[in-house]
Amino acid sequence: MLRLSTRDPGFDKAFRRLVRDRRESESDVARDVALILDDVRVRGDAALAEYTARFDGHALASDDDWRITPEACAAAFAALDPDLRAALETAAARIRAYHAAQLPENRDYTDATGTRLGAVWRAVDAAGLYVPGGRAAYPSSLLMNAIPAKVAGVQRLVVTTPTPRGVVNPLVLAAAHLAGVDEIWRVGGAQAVAALAHGTGRIKPVDVVTGPGNAFVAEAKRQLYGVVGIDMVAGPSEILVIADGRNNADWIAADLLSQAEHDPAAQSILITDDPVFADDVADRVGVELAMLKTQKVATESWNTHGVIIEVASLDEAPALANALAAEHVEIATDDPEPLFRAIRHAGSVFLGRMTPEAVGDYVAGPNHVLPTGRRARFASGLSVLDFMKRTSFIQLSDAALREIGPAAVALAHAEGLPAHARSVELRLGE
C-alpha cells in the first residue's frame, strides 16, 4: 500500500505516476482476440463450439447445451429464498424507476423562417448483454444492463454467458427472468462478443453490446466497435474515498475493500486530512482483510494498488479527484456539497457518511456500469441512451427554402461542390 502526503517535496512526481498508472492487463491479447473474432465471423457456430469446449469445458451439442430456456429462468426465480427474491425485486424496481426518468423527449418545432425541425429518439432493434461467469457472475450487473435496455424499448434482448463445465448461476437466471431477457446463450469470452456482433447460424446479430468482462472481452468490444455499438471499454474497478477524521475507521476500511475484492488489479484510494485517522484506517483494513472470504484477491489489490493520501486540508481533495477521475468517489463529511460541486470528473459520487458505494452497486437506482481508468473525464455511466439513437428531421416550405437556400448555395460553391449547389438552385428556379 502506498502512502503519500501533499506536504512531501516529492508528492507531485509521485502523484503524477499514480495518475498515469495503467492497471489494465498488459498482456498482448489484441492479436489473439483478432484471430478469435475472425474465426467466429467465418465459421460461426462451429468456432463457438470449439472455443466453448476448450475454455469452458462445456460441449455445445443439443439445443439445451446451447441455450438456457425462459422456463429455466422462471424456475430459478421461483426457487429463490423469499428474502433474496424480494431484494432482487427491490433492486429491479429502483433501477427501472431511475432509468425511466432518463428517457429523452422528441422535439418538433417550426422556426421563424417556416422551417420545421426536430428529432425523434428510437431504441435499437436488438441488444446483447455479456454476463461473466465464474467469480464475476453477478445478478446485479445483469439487472443494471438489461433494465435500461428494456426501459429504452429494445425489443430483443440477448444474453451470452459462459457456463464452465455446464454450471449456471441460478441468481443470474433469476435476474434474467425478472428483467425480461429474451435469449440466453451458453457462450462466453471474445467469441461470444463476436457472435453478438456478426451473428452465427444460431445467434442473430445485435446492434449494441454492453456488459463487463475480462481483458479478452474488453478487447473484443474495442475491436468490434463500428460493427456494433458498445457501452465502454472498462478496466478494473476503483474507489476514491475522501474522508475527514470524524469518520468510523472500520466503515471506511470496509468501503475501500468493497472494490478491492473485485479484482487483484482493482484500486482503492483514501484522501484524508487527518494522519491519525489514516493510520487507523490502514490498521482496520488489515483486520477487515482477515475476515473476508475474498481475502486473497482483496489483499493483492490493496497491497499492490492501495493508496492513502494525506492532505493539509480537504480543500485540496477536488483537484486530486479530478486528476484521478475515478469510477466511484465517496465524500464522507458532514457537508459534502462544497467538495461535490468542485469535482468535475467521476463516474458516480456518494455523498455523506451514510452512503457507502456498495448501496449504489445494488439498490440505489443509478447504474453501476461506470467508466474506469480516468475515462470519467469524457464518459458517463450506462444509461437508456446507450440503447437508443436520435434521428433528426427537417421540412422546408417554399418560403423557407427561399429564405435559407441561397446561403446553402453560396457555401456549396465555396466548398467546390456544384452538385450540392444545383440541387438547391433548381428548386429556387435559378
Helix (H), strand (E) at residue 366:
none
Helices 418-428 and 398-414: angle between axes, nearest 10 degrees = 150
The residues annotated as belonging to the active site are 327-328
Cβ-based neighbour number of residue 165 at 10 Å: 7
Name all contacts of 77-86 with Cβ < 8 Å and 24+ positions apart: 77/173, 77/174, 77/177, 77/178, 79/170, 79/174, 80/170, 80/171, 80/174, 84/171, 85/174
Centre a 10 Å sphere on the Cβ of residue 254 and count the other Cβ atoms it contains.
Answer: 17
> Residue 359 and residue 387: Cα distance in Å, rounded?
25
Bridge partners, 107 (sequence order): 119
- Residues with Cβ within 8 Å of 271's Cβ and at least 6 positions away in sequence, in order, are 240, 241, 242, 243, 309, 311, 314, 317, 320, 321
What helix, strand, coil percent values describe the chain, rounded to 5?
Answer: 50, 15, 35
Which residues pair with residue 208 across a beta bridge? 127, 229
Burial 402-420 (b: 16+ CB within 10 A, else e): ebebeebbeebeeeeeeee
Question: What gap in Å lies between CA 300 and CA 264, rounded to an integer?
Answer: 5
Rounded-to-integer distance, Cα 82 and Cα 103, Å? 32
Q: Interior CA angle at 106 toward 103 and 112, to 5°? A: 150
Which grid coordinates belong to 222? 474495442
| Euclidean distance between CA atoms 305 and 285, whole angstroms | 14
Q: What are the two backbone dihedrals, phi and then psi, of residue 169, each rounded to the nearest 5 degrees?
A: -90, 110
In 3D, which of 179, 177, 202, 181 has the Cα closest to residue 192? 202
Residues across the chain: 430
**Distance in angstroms (rounded) separating the CA atoms of residues 224 and 230:** 8
